[in-house]
C-alpha cells in the first residue's frame, strides 16, 4: 500500500530504501497502539519521518535516539563521510541541525522527541514501555550489541523489534546487524515476522 509523506523523502539524506521505509511506516502505525516508538540512529531524519508520519494520526510519539556525531563509517576518510555534515569549527560530525530542519519541514515536531545522546546513556534510566524499537545505529559489533541489549528489553509483549542492514552474506555488507538479529531469535523472546530487503521485523513473544 502506497503512503503519503509530508515531505519529499528522496531529498532527505539517508540509507533507507523506500520499501523499507514504507514497511516501517505500517509497522509504526500498528505498534503505536502498544506503546511509544523508538529508533536508534536517526541521522538526518529519513526513518524518523516515516515513523512519525504513521504516529501522527493517533497522536503517538517517536523517540529518536542519536548522538549525531556519526557512526564509524561517517567519519572523515571513511566510506560514507558527508562533508556537508562536518562541523569545521568543532572538527566533529554534526547531523543534528539537518535532522531538526527536516523534521520541522515535515511538520512533525509535535510527534518526535529527539534524544541527543549515545544509546547506552539514553537507556540508563529508561522506563517507558515501547511498542516498536528500530535499530539502525553504529554497525560495529560493540555498538549493535549495546543497542540491542539496551532497548530490546523495553519492548512490550506483542511489540516489534526492527533491525536495518541485515546481510546474511558477508560479501554484501557488515555482519553486526545480522549478529544481533540472530541473538534476538536465539533468545526465544522474538519471532520473525518478515524481511523487507535488509530490514528484519521481529515480534516479541508473550
Which residues are the active-site residues? 139
- Candidates 9, 30, 15; CA nearest to 164 is 15
CA 129 to chain centre: 17
Please count the helices (runs of H) and the strands (runs of E) in the chain: 6, 9
Find out whether 21 and 8 touch, Cβ atoms under 8 Å. Answer: no
- Candidates 68, 133, 75; CA nearest to 97 is 68
Query: Do the strands 199-204 and 155-163 form a parallel or antiparallel pair, or are they unpaired?
Result: antiparallel
Find out whether 119 and 147 touch, Cβ atoms under 8 Å. Answer: yes
How many whole angstroms separate alpha carbon 145 and alpha carbon 64? 18
- C-alpha torsion sign, points 25, 30, 31, 32: positive
For residue 87, the number of C-alpha atoms closer than 13 Å in the C-beta half-sphere is 13
Amino acid at each position: 500500500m502506497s503512503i503519503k509523506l509530508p515531505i519529499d523523502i528522496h531529498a532527505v539524506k539517508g540509507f533507507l530504501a523506500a520499501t523499507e521505509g514504507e514497511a516501517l511506516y505500517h509497522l509504526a502505525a500498528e505498534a503505536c497502539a502498544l506503546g511509544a516508538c523508538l529508533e536508534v540512529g536517526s541521522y538526518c531524519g529519513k526513518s524518523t519521518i516515516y515513523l512519525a508520519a504513521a504516529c501522527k494520526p493517533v497522536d503517538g510519539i517517536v523517540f529518536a535516539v542519536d548522538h549525531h556525531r556519526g557512526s564509524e563509517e561517517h567519519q572523515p576518510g571513511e566510506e560514507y563521510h558527508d562533508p556537508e555534515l562536518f562541523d569545521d569549527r568543532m572538527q566533529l560530525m554534526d547531523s543534528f541541525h539537518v535532522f531538526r530542519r527536516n523534521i520541522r519541514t515535515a511538520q512533525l515536531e509535535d510527534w518526535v522527541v529527539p534524544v541527543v545522546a549515545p544509546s547506552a546513556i539514553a537507556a540508563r534510566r529508561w522506563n517507558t514501555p515501547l511498542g516498536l524499537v528500530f535499530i539502525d545505529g553504529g554497525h560495529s559489533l560493540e555498538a549493535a550489541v549495546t543497542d540491542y541489549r539496551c532497548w530490546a528489553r523495553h519492548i512490550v509483549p506483542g511489540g516489534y523489534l526492527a533491525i536495518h542492514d541485515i546481510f546474511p552474506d558477508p560479501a554484501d555488507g557488515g555482519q553486526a546487524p545480522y549478529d544481533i538479529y540472530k541473538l534476538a531469535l536465539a533468545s526465544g523472546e522474538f519471532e520473525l515476522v518478515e524481511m523487507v530487503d535488509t530490514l528484519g521485523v521481529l515480534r516479541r513473544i508473550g
